[in-house]
């Protein structure tokens, strides 16, 4: 079983390709226009790949405080281990200011730039701040929007921005095609909608009406599909692990759904057909043949 930290690390290059550059350009231009230091809060920061990416891509203003929170203590511990190295790879010199038990602060400097990163274990919807921007990447599809949106609004300073990239939006596809694909996809999405305690399979597009409905302006939006396929005959980076982990997640979701709804079409999928499908997909993965596509949406928004 692939653990969540390994999955998040493997996801980095998939996200790198997927992120919608138009939405990212608008977000980073807006950050540049804010007075220094620009205060960023990231909710559900996982192992800190967004911090590393924004630093490596030169997408951060000259002076930034970056507060990264996640409820998962193991992910925050992994972030404390990995982010300093990633920032050094991005050309920063990094000082660690505390012992890293309750909260870790990193001060990273490069060519007159200063990036202060705090890594915390916390519920991002129960903290206080006065942020120029809140980032929630691949997060809003697994939480309750009724709680998340007002909490994010509360966290933002006047004219502050929400950047919510990689919000899942209702399409999971594999190639080559298999007769069981449609049922597997329906079951996987139904699990997100009915068995999981929060979130859903269509949150990406839901945000595009929910935000205006709740008194926000959507400033920019765009697709950010995950597309994973062998390139030069192998999967890039650790993307094979990303796919292995996704297959495990889908199989686990279908097993749970079958238990919940034994009389439905998903009860049927518990049987030999599901095992055959998984075996086929694992074999294709082994042979570097499997192609995977998932539809996500990136949103940049501001409370009115």
Ligand X SMILES: C[S@@+](CC[C@H](N)C(=O)[O-])C[C@H]1O[C@@H](n2cnc3c(N)ncnc32)[C@H](O)[C@@H]1O
* Residue 246 touching ligand X (CB under 6 A): no
Contact track, ligand X, 256-295, x by CB under 6 A: ----------------------------------------
Beta carbon of residue 45, minimum distance to ligand X (angstroms, whole number): 6
Pick between residue 67 and residue 190 the one whose CB is nearest to ligand X.
67
Name the nearest CA neighbour of 167 among 137, 134, 191. 137
Rounded to a whole number of angstroms, the minimum distance from the CB of residue 148 to ligand X is 8
Using CB under 6 A, which of 10, 14, 44, 254 touches ligand X?
44
Instruction: Kindly state the smallest distance separating residue 163's Cβ from ligand X, in Å.
Output: 11
Q: Report the C-alpha gap between 291 and 288 in whole angstroms.
A: 9
CA-based R_g, the chain, Å: 20
- Closest approach of ligand X to the CB of residue 282, in Å: 22
Strands 93-96 and 103-110: antiparallel
Interface with ligand X, residue 8, by CB under 6 A: yes
Pick the closer one to ligand X by CB: 15 or 261.
Answer: 15
38: contact with ligand X by CB under 6 A: no
Q: What six digits make up the tokens of 246? A: 């996704």
Decide if residue 11 touches ligand X (CB under 6 A). Answer: yes
Please report how close the Cβ of residue 141 comes to ligand X at its closest, in angstroms: 8
Distance in Å, CB of 158 to ligand X, minimum = 24
The count of residues interacting with ligand X (CB under 6 A) is 20
Measured N-to-C along each axis, helices 4-18 and 239-260 cross at an angle, to the nearest 10 degrees, of 110
Backbone angles phi, psi at 132, to 5 degrees: -75, -30
- 303 makes contact with ligand X (CB under 6 A): no
Strand partners, 300: 163, 220
* Position 203 contacts ligand X (CB under 6 A): no
Question: Which residue from 18, 23, 43, 134 is in contact with ligand X, where contact means CB under 6 A?
Answer: 43
Q: Name the segment binding ligand X (CB under 6 A); options: 42-50, 172-180, 260-268, 280-288.
A: 42-50
Residue 123 engages ligand X in binding (rule: CB under 6 A): yes
Q: Choose between 1 and 272: whose C-beta lies nearer to ligand X.
A: 1
Nearer to ligand X, 41 or 115 (CB): 41
Cβ atoms of 43 and 152 within 8 Å: the answer is yes
**Cβ(119)–Cβ(80) below 8 Å:** yes
Q: Helix axis angle, 73-89 relative to 4-18, nearest 10°?
A: 50
Nearer residue to ligand X within complex by CB, 142 or 278: 142
Interacting residue with ligand X among 62, 63, 72, 248 (CB under 6 A): 72
Q: Which residues bind ligand X (CB under 6 A)?
A: 8, 11, 43-46, 49, 69-72, 75, 123-125, 137-139, 142-143
């Amino acid at each position: 079983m692939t653990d969540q930290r390994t999955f998040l690390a493997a996801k980095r290059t998939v996200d790198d390709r997927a992120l919608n550059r138009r939405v990212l350009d608008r977000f980073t231009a807006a950050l540049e226009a804010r007075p220094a230091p620009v205060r960023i809060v990231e909710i559900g920061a996982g192992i800190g790949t967004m911090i590393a990416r924004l630093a490596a891509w030169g997408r951060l203003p000259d002076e930034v405080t970056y507060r990264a929170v996640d409820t998962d203590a193991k992910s925050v511990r992994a972030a404390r281990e990995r982010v300093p190295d990633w920032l050094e790879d991005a050309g920063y010199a990094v000082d660690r200011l505390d012992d890293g038990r309750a909260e870790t602060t990193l001060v990273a400097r490069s060519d007159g730039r200063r990036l202060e990163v705090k890594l915390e274990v916390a519920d991002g919807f129960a903290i206080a701040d006065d942020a120029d921007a809140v980032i929630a990447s691949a997060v809003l599809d697994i939480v309750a929007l009724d709680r998340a949106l007002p909490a994010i609004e509360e966290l933002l300073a006047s004219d502050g921005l929400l950047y919510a990239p990689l919000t899942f939006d209702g399409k999971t596809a594999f190639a080559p095609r298999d007769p069981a694909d449609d049922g597997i996809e329906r079951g996987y999405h139904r699990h997100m909608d009915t068995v999981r305690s929060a979130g859903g399979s269509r949150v990406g597009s839901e945000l595009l009406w929910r935000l205006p409905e709740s008194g926000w302006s959507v400033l920019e939006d765009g697709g950010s599909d995950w597309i994973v396929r062998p390139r030069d005959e192998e999967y890039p980076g650790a993307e094979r692990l990303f796919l292995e982990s996704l297959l495990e997640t889908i199989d686990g979701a279908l097993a749970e759904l079958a238990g919940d709804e034994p009389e439905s079409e998903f009860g049927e999928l518990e049987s030999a057909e599901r095992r055959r499908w998984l075996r086929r997909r694992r074999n294709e993965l082994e042979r570097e043949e499997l192609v995977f596509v998932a539809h996500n949406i990136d949103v940049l928004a501001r409370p009115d």
